[in-house]
Amino acid sequence: MARVLGGAVSPPWLRRVGTPPLEAVGRRGSRAVVPTESARLRRPRVVRREEDRADGPPPVCRPPDVVRATSSGLERPEIRLRQGETRSPGSRRALALVAIVLLLASSTWFSAAAVVPQLRSEWQLSNAVAAWLTIAVQLGFVIGAVASSAVNLADILPPRLVILGSAAGAGATNLLLVLAHGPGLAIPLRLLTGAFLAGVYPPVMKVTATWFDRPRRGTALGILVGASAVGSALPHLVNAVGGLDWRTVVYGTSALSLAGGLLALFGLREGPFRFPRGVFDPRQARLVFANRGVRLASLGYFGHMWELYAMWTWFLLFFSSALGAHGGTSRAALATFAVIGIGLAGSWVGGVAGDRWGRPETAIAMMAGSAACALLIGLLDSAPAWLILLVGLAWGFTVLGDSAQFSTLVTDLADQSYVGTALGLQTAFGFGLTTATIWLVPRLETAVGWRWAFAFLAPGPLLGIAAMARLRATTPGP
């Protein structure tokens, strides 16, 4: 005789031996059944549609190969998944769309750093003051990420609306930079740009994770992180054209950011592997790092961030110095675009390797490579430009190859109702660390030269390796 669960009759397929339990996720007006890892110990919960009458027949659980995907109250066609599938139909299109959104929205990140040589001349900036044009973005990101995590913004509002508002805000504050005549106005505007960018990165990570189950999630997030790198490098490509006024770079990146927000509004939707919708709970911001797995993954991420943005920020000036009188701003900018942009390939390779051989193992290998490059590249300051660029490309490949592992580990290990909050806090603390290294590198360059300035970044990935080694002992492989 069928067992009754919560007023619903449990169908025969639910009672078969070996069939994984289900978690029924739904909202008013729709019914969805989604098999998830977090539901292994829970009975299915059935949500009635509005049209189901109290005196009518009990609702029927759907079999596990039927999933209804909805996005922010809008009914969508059903997405059907066979049991054991790790990605849904349309996932590749969704990944491409999300990657384009992030690429466009990220273009404002280094819009000022890409034109630092011009701003230094026009505004009479020292290296220390010029550093604050990037540091301000990082600090703004930290403020925005902490604020959004404190109110669980990424978990209680539709991601497409959060991304639209954030990308539009970043584009607007970036555009106002053309009104600045010095760092007095430029630095506060960069701070606001960073605060708005904090509303883009965690939500797009979360949306991407809803299209891929855990065995394929690392590859997807790797591609997404790589798209962020290309977006961050775009201002250098624009600057490499040569002969352009710095305001043209600002106009172009602002337009790209707004385009990314509009694309998110009209094209972005969540996939079938959705996380449960959270409610406002300020305790979650405090409880995130109580999870040992999240804590170790975040420590690895912090080591990664110690190195990443300082390298991205100062490679342009380092390579310009290496080229000397035989180089030029355009050649150095093009090389910087290549060094940052190759992170797309590194992040994709890292994602595939993480899914296949394990995330901690992949992160360890990538961080070992990037630490070696950080120690080596400064020693080549008198070497031929092609050799410096070759090591720079290897550095750009490995320095981002581990990034997706940390985000994927958090989506796997965090409380599934507050994944957005966990990602926001992880990135907030990580970007907070970047301000220290971005500020210190030019001071080290003044004191000891480029030969040893970048070597200061190597301890970050080395500490990250230690955190990943501890996590590897407790985290099962893919």
pLDDT confidence of residue 408: 82
Name the residue with higher pLDDT: 205 or 138.
Answer: 138
Residues 412-449 have pLDDT tens digits of 887 776 777 777 788 888 888 989 999 999 999 989 99
Please state the pTM of the whole predicted model.
Answer: 0.71
Q: pLDDT confidence of 227, banded at 50, 70, 90?
A: confident
pLDDT confidence of residue 159: 84
Mean pLDDT for the stretch of residues 344-367: 93
Distance CA 368, CA 6 (A): 53
Q: Which two tokens stand for residue 436?
A: 């220290």
Q: Break the chain into its structural domains and give their ranges.
A: 93-472
pLDDT confidence of residue 258: 94
Q: pLDDT confidence of 242, banded at 50, 70, 90?
A: low
pLDDT confidence of residue 50: 43
pLDDT confidence of residue 329: 72
Range in 84-88, 267-271, 362-366 the model is least confident about: 84-88
pLDDT confidence of residue 154: 64
Mapped onto helix, strand or coil, the DSSP state of residue 433 is: helix
Residues 296-327 have pLDDT tens digits of 999 999 999 999 999 998 999 899 888 875 56
CA 50 from centroid of its chain's CA atoms: 37
DSSP bridge pairs for 24: 33
The widest CA-to-CA distance across the chain, in whole angstroms, is 86
Mean pLDDT for the stretch of residues 223-248: 83
Name the residue with higher pLDDT: 77 or 126.
Answer: 126
Average pLDDT score over the chain: 78
Picking from 308, 31, 277, the residue whose alpha carbon sits closest to that of residue 152 is 277
pLDDT confidence of residue 475: 60
Percent of the chain with pLDDT over 90: 35
Q: For residue 221, is pLDDT > 70?
A: yes
Contact 337, 392 (CB under 8 A): no
Name the residue with higher pLDDT: 249 or 11.
Answer: 249
Residues 137-189 have pLDDT tens digits of 989 988 988 888 777 676 677 888 999 999 999 999 999 999 999 999 999 99
Mean pLDDT for the stretch of residues 2-10: 42
The runs of H, that is alpha helices, within 176-282 are 183-197, 201-209, 214-240, 246-267
Helix (H) or strand (E) holding 311: helix 292-323
pLDDT confidence of residue 277: 60
Residues 255-311 have pLDDT tens digits of 999 999 999 999 888 888 776 665 545 566 667 777 888 889 999 999 999 999 999
Distance CA 316, CA 328 (A): 11
Q: For residue 359, is pLDDT > 70?
A: yes
Q: pLDDT confidence of 389, banded at 50, 70, 90?
A: very high
The DSSP-derived string for 320-345 is: HHHHGGG--HHHHHHHHHHHHHTHHH
Contact 440, 460 (CB under 8 A): no
DSSP state of 366: H
Q: pLDDT confidence of 468, banded at 50, 70, 90?
A: very high
* Half-sphere exposure in the Cβ direction for 339 (13 Å, CA): 31
Supply the CATH classification number for the domain 93-472: 1.20.1250.20
Q: For residue 117, is pLDDT > 90?
A: no
Contact 133, 183 (CB under 8 A): yes
